[in-house]
Amino acid sequence: MCLTVPCRCVAVDGVVATVARGSETIDISLVLMEEPIAIGDWIAVQAQRYGLRRLDPDEAAEIVKLYESIAEGLLQGDGANAPA
């Protein structure tokens, strides 16, 4: 299973984009994208390699907040959110 992570585009060169994910940047392929991407756009990125679709900034913020909440629950070690 691959997670899709919201990343912000910081550079575009043809079918390759550099995106920021937290404090790191990675290059991803845009070959699966159906719409053009510009610097500043949020992109749903799967498997740290492929952009799937552009995200609305509010949608991206909601997903980031959800992932942070899940990570916080796992770090607290309360077991309620830990995988079985």
> pLDDT tens digits for 46-84?
988 999 999 999 999 999 999 889 888 888 875 555 555
Q: List the structure tokens of 79.
A: 């077991």
Is 47 domain-assigned?
A: yes
Residue 20 predicted with pLDDT over 90:
yes
Q: What integer pLDDT is reported at residue 1 of this predicted model?
A: 63
Cβ proximity of 2 and 47 under 8 Å: yes
Is 64 domain-assigned?
A: yes
Task: Give the pLDDT mean for 28-46.
Answer: 96
Q: What integer pLDDT is reported at residue 66 of this predicted model?
A: 92
Cβ proximity of 52 and 46 under 8 Å: yes
Give how many domains the chain has, as a whole number. Answer: 1
Is 51 domain-assigned?
A: yes
| SS3 at position 17 | strand
Is 84 domain-assigned?
A: no
pTM value? 0.80
Supply the range of the domain harboring residue 44: 4-76
* CATH number where 59 lies: 2.30.30.140
> Hey, how many other C-beta atoms are within 10 angstroms of the C-beta on 57?
12
